Amino acid sequence: MKVIATMENLVFGDEGPYAQQLVSDQIGKIVRYTLKPGQELDETHAPFMPRYFMVEKGEGIFKTDDGDEQKVGPGAVVIFPPKEDSTITATDSDLVVIGFLFWATGG
C-alpha cells in the first residue's frame, strides 16, 4: 500500500501552472497541478484514454474545445473523454487539481 498526502508541500509557479508527478507506474500516473488565480493549464489531450481530474482546493473553470464549460470546486471530479481537448483555469483563488492519467494503449 502507498499513501499520498496530496495537499502537503504545495508549489506554485510564477510563470504558469506547476505540475508535480506524485506517482507513475505501468498503467499511468497521478499528477498534482497547482495554479495561481488566472493561470491556465491548456491543451490537456489524450487520444485513446479518458482523463480524470479531482479538485482539492479552490475553484476552476473546466472547458472543452466544443465550448462546454463548468465551474467546479473542492470534491468535484471532472472526466474528459478520449480525444477531447480541454483547458483548466484557476478563478480567483489558488487551485489544486489531481490528475489521474493513463498511458495510451490502442487506437
71 occurs within a structural domain = yes
- Residue 45: domain span: 18-102
Q: Specify the CATH number for the domain of residue 70.
A: 2.60.120.10
107 occurs within a structural domain = no
1 occurs within a structural domain = no
pLDDT tens-digit series, residues 18-29: 999 999 999 899
Shortest CA distance to 13 belongs to which of 100, 98, 78, 96? 96
pLDDT tens-digit series, residues 52-78: 999 999 999 999 888 899 999 999 999
11 occurs within a structural domain = no
59 occurs within a structural domain = yes
